[in-house]
């Protein structure tokens, strides 16, 4: 049986309660503490896990290309296989931020920026949940979200889109709960999201879903008509705002091309289905959530239920969507939980329980402006120390610097057949790549053939690829199957090897 939409707690009543209890300028809060803990934990001298992804390199390189040329790219200039082909930097604003952070503080600057994005995102998530829920269930939701999302804490554009994604979805949910259209200011979130990360297309889909939720949950025909018109206007405005990018609507079309890669998406680890053997905590969280929902009789409005099912589907289809499920689902269901179980609602008076309970509850309120300013200052000093003394650098699995130093010293020239994970580093080093992380450029067929050839599978042989593309040297990890064949091929010899990479060069 569906539950109708409605207010979980009157905003006026909440505002009156908060106004009656002025907070100190130095007041702390749970969201502020959480954000600081995450920032310090992630902004470490090893740079992990944030620098563990090879795509960070090419995002920085693209950002620096834009700074150097004063425009955004429209064709590929980083590979030799697709040089001159149409390609857009759909995440151009994030790439500029990463490039600026790198230019100012090196990898320590990138790490600090990414860690700050994560800290702000989960602090914001907790703050939004505390509007509807008491601290304990809100904290449990956020803790589960951190665990589910931890494997995707990587210095890439999606991190910088997290805060605006939460702002957008929370605004849509609040509008449905208050039986109105979203505030026009929310369009700023879509504007930022569309220029930070390609996931903004999901935001447009969710706008339509919540519009349907609002219309279906209307109390009568008059309200239904008013909501339909209001949400239709906001939806049209959202679509138009999403096109305010250097590329116009092309940024939306790129998303369709990515999903059009088909079965080759399975070659890329983040586009595979989740591996619960490697991520047992994610499975445990899903099972606990399923048990809690079934055992307690959770009832969701029909459209809200379909949104939840859609988020689950996206995650089970592609592991990279773990953050969508973990961060957005709590915002979707929190108001319904507060309506169905009033004991989960925040206590507006804050007078119940022991003195310790009251003090813990007080931390659910907003932080004072002085405490917030001090926290920002401490974070800035910490980041400066990390940049100055940390010596942060990415792992060799994504940055085979010793191998590339050898290639330069040995005067290796010509085209290189590189490993997928080395493509980003080669782009940043100014070496044209055979392949890299820009899947929408290369297309599904090319990625699939590359994976088959380098793993010694498929119809096309490695020798054919080496000749057809006039490859002069190769750069692969030690365990790449292609290395075994290269060691036996006439006209090729191993020129370099270390603990992470091997170089073969053509001898004729």
CB of 12 within 8 A of CB of 357?
A: no
Tell me the C-alpha distance between 35 and 41, whole Å.
Answer: 10
CB of 143 within 8 A of CB of 38?
A: no
Tell me the C-alpha distance between 190 and 164, whole Å.
Answer: 8
Tell me the C-alpha distance between 478 and 492, whole Å.
Answer: 16
Q: How many residues does the chain have?
A: 508
pLDDT of the residue at 13:
39
Element (H, E) at 9: none
φ and ψ at residue 324, rounded to 5 degrees: -65, -45
Q: Is the peptide bond before 49 cis (omega within 30 degrees of 0)?
A: yes
260-298 confidence digits (pLDDT tens): 666 666 667 777 889 899 889 999 999 999 999 999 999
DSSP class of residue 27 equals -
Name the CA radius of gyration of the chain, rounded. 25
Answering whether pTM is above 0.85, one says yes
Tell me the C-alpha distance between 332 and 133, whole Å.
Answer: 13
Q: Is the pLDDT of residue 182 over 90?
A: yes
Secondary-structure percent of the chain, ordered helix, strand, coil, rounded to 5: 60, 5, 30
For 13, other C-beta atoms within 10 Å of its C-beta total 11
Tell me the C-alpha distance between 293 and 480, whole Å.
Answer: 45
pLDDT of the residue at 353:
60
Closest CA to 314 of 238, 212, 235, 201: 201
The Cα-based distances of 92 to 143, 197, 250, 269, 321 in angstroms read 31, 8, 13, 24, 21
CB of 54 within 8 A of CB of 429?
A: no
Tell me the C-alpha distance between 214 and 5, whole Å.
Answer: 8
The proportion of the chain whose per-residue pLDDT surpasses 70, expressed as a percent, equals 92
309-364 confidence digits (pLDDT tens): 999 999 999 898 999 999 999 999 999 999 999 999 987 665 556 676 677 778 88
């Amino acid at each position: 049986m569906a539950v109708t939409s409605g207010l979980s707690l009157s905003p006026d009543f909440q505002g009156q309660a908060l106004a009656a209890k002025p907070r100190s300028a130095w007041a702390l809060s749970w969201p502020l503490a959480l954000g600081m803990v995450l920032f310090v934990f992630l902004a470490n001298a090893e740079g992990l896990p944030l620098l563990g992804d090879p795509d960070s390199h090419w995002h920085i390189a693209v950002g620096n290309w834009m700074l150097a040329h004063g425009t955004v790219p429209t064709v590929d200039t980083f590979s030799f296989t697709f040089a001159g082909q149409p390609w857009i930097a759909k995440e151009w604003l994030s790439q500029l931020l990463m490039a600026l952070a790198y230019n100012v503080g090196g990898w320590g600057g990138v790490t600090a920026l990414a860690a700050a994005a994560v800290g702000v995102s989960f602090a914001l998530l907790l703050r939004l949940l505390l509007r509807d829920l008491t601290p304990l269930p809100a904290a449990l939701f956020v803790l589960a979200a951190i665990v589910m999302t931890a494997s995707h804490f990587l210095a890439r554009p999606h991190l910088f889109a997290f805060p605006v994604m939460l702002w957008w979805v929370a605004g849509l949910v609040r509008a449905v709960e208050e039986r109105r259209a979203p505030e026009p200011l929310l369009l700023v979130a879509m504007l930022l999201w569309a220029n930070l990360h390609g996931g903004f297309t999901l935001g447009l889909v969710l706008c339509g879903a919540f519009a349907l939720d609002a219309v279906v949950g209307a109390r009568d025909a008059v309200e239904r008509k008013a909501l339909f018109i209001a949400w239709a206007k906001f939806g049209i405005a959202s679509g138009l705002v999403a096109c305010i990018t250097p590329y116009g609507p092309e940024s939306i079309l790129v998303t369709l091309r990515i999903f059009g890669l088909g079965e080759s998406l399975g070659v890329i680890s983040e586009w595979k289905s989740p591996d619960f053997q490697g991520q047992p905590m994610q499975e445990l969280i899903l099972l606990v959530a399923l048990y809690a929902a079934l055992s307690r009789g959770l009832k969701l409005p029909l459209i809200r239920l379909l949104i939840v099912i859609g988020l689950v589907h996206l995650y089970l289809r592609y592991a990279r969507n773990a953050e969508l499920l973990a961060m957005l689902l709590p915002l979707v269901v929190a108001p319904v939980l507060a309506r169905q179980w009033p004991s989960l609602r925040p206590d507006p008076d804050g007078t119940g329980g022991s003195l310790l309970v009251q003090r813990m509850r007080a931390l659910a309120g907003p932080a004072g402006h002085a405490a917030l300013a001090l926290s920002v200052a401490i974070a800035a000093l910490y980041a400066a120390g990390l940049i100055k003394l940390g010596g942060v650098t990415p792992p060799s699995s994504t940055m085979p610097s010793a191998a590339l130093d050898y290639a330069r010293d040995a005067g290796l020239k010509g085209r290189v057949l590189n490993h997928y994970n080395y493509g980003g580093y080669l782009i940043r080093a100014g070496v044209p790549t055979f392949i890299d992380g820009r899947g929408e450029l290369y297309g599904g067929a090319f990625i699939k053939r590359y994976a088959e050839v380098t793993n010694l599978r498929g119809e096309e042989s490695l020798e054919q690829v080496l000749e057809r593309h006039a490859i002069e040297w190769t750069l692969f990890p030690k365990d790449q199957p292609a290395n075994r064949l290269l060691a036996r091929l006439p006209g090729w010899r191993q020129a370099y090897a270390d603990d992470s990479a091997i170089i073969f060069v053509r001898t004729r």
